[in-house]
Amino acid sequence: MSLNSTNPYKMNLKYVSYMSNQAQILKEDDIEKLLFQIREKNKRLAITGLLLLIQGKFIQYIEGPEDEIEKVYKKIKTDPRHNQLILLDSGEVNTRQFKDWSMAYKKIEDEVVEKITGYKNLELDDLFQNPYKEGKHPVLKVLYNFTKALAS
């Protein structure tokens, strides 16, 4: 646990958001089991966040102590349950977005994605073939929309 130099009792908080393909399509029961494991581990590590399932892709936002986030993200990158991981965003955060959620979960339908982003066909498969070069990817708009909604 790293400490902030100005306040020895305040942790440096970091966040990471990423997108990945499922290595094999998980059934709802499998996702529930995965969420149970993630939530238990996150409680021990003081990590909170949100997992979205959009078009069969995982989009995740995690936050917590900087050292723990770095360790967990390193493990996530080698987790065989998914592949083609793309880092969407990362940085430091002053306050948690999900102080009460060890891991919130939501499956998002295409109609909701369109309503939030304005994109009729947000083809996430294309992102793996052609990385988004115009700044932040529209999927971040969906992620952060749910981040704000659940955090408030």
Q: Hey, what domains does the chain have and what are their CATH numbers?
A: 13-151 (3.30.70.100)
pLDDT value of residue 75: 93
Assigned token pair, 11: 């942790």
Residue 129 host element (H or E): helix 124-129
- Rg of the chain over Cα atoms, rounded to whole angstroms, equals 15
Alpha-carbon torsion 112, 89, 82, 123, what sign?
positive
Global pTM reads: 0.77
Do the Cβ atoms of 96 and 11 come closer than 8 Å? no
Give the Cα separation of 139 and 3 in Å (integer). 32
For the segment 72-112, what is each residue's pLDDT rounded down to a tens digit? 999 999 998 888 888 888 999 898 888 878 888 888 887 88
Do the Cβ atoms of 20 and 82 come closer than 8 Å? yes
Q: What parts of the chain have a pLDDT lower than 50?
A: 1-9
Pairing outcome for strands 82-93 and 13-22? antiparallel
